[in-house]
Amino acid sequence: MAWKAKIYGTVQNVGFRAAVKRKAQQLGLLGYVRNLADGGVEIILFDEKNKLEQLIRAMDTFRITQVSIEPDDSKRSPQSFEILYS
């Protein structure tokens, strides 16, 4: 199952996506992270919800002000954890 997190705060242009990717790779997670047009960042993780929560908690050096997590119906099958540039 896939989970989607939308994260807001000081998360764009501060190395947040790269930090998420590094930690996700350390944890052996599959998915992707990308910037949103509204200033937030979206993480899609193909694993258990608690793994996504663990990944977000690991980003405690960034100023995160809001997080929402919900199931995602993405059919994509990533082979790694990627940064998407849209």
Query: Where along the chain do its domains lie?
Result: 2-74
- Beta carbons of 17 and 44 less than 8 angstroms apart: no
pLDDT, one tens digit per residue, over 37-61 is 999 999 999 999 999 999 999 999 9
Average pLDDT over residues 12-28: 96
**Catalytic member of 17, 34, 50, 76:** 17
Q: What pTM did the predictor assign?
A: 0.94
Q: Which of 76, 73, 72, 55 is nearest to 64 (CA)?
A: 55
**Catalytic member of 13, 22, 34, 35:** 35
Q: How far apart are CA 78 and CA 13, in angstroms?
A: 24
Instruction: Check if 35 is active-site.
Output: yes
Average pLDDT over residues 14-40: 96
pLDDT of residue 74: 81
pLDDT of residue 62: 96
Range from 6-10, 70-74, 76-80, 82-86 that averages highest in pLDDT: 6-10
- Tell me the fold of 2-74: Alpha-Beta Plaits (3.30.70)
